[in-house]
Amino acid sequence: QRRQERDRVRTALQTLPEAQRRAIELAYFQGLTQTEIAEKLGEPLETIKTRIRMAMEKLAAMLPETQ
């Protein structure tokens, strides 16, 4: 069951555009703020905010609370 759960989450992440997935990975898996992500990637802060917003909207749709 854990493997299925892991695969489901990984699949959801893989469906994101690369730039959005990268922003999510930096925020969640590396613990960076949006500002820190913008600095790290050399991108405008508003761009990062948009990427995270769009990515989270997609993930929320793909990963509804099932437990």
Partner 1 sequence: MICSEFKELVGAYALDALDPLERAAAEAHLMEPRHEGCLQALERARAATLQLGGAVDDAGVPAHVWERIEMGLGPRRKRSWSAPAGWAAAAVLAVVVLLLLQQQGRLQREGADLRLSVQSATSSAGSSQELARQCAAQLDAERAGSAAAREAIALLERPGSRVVQFGGVGGAVQTAFAVIGDDGKRAILVSTTLAPTPERDYQLWVVPGGRGATPIAAGLVGAPAAGIAVTEFAAQALSAGAAALAVSAEPKGGSPTGTPSEVVLLAKVSG
Chain residues that interact with partner 1, rule: CB under 8 A: 2-3, 5-6, 8-10, 13, 24, 27-37, 49, 52-53, 55-57, 59-60, 62-65
End-to-end CA separation in angstroms for the chain = 12
Of 33 and 44, the one with the shorter C-beta distance to partner 1 is 33
**Smallest separation, CB 27 to partner 1 (Å):** 4
CA 34/CA 51 separation, integer angstroms: 10
Structure tokens that stand for 7 in this block = 């695969």
> Tokens in use for 1?
């069951």
Cβ proximity to partner 1, 22 vs 49, nearer residue: 49
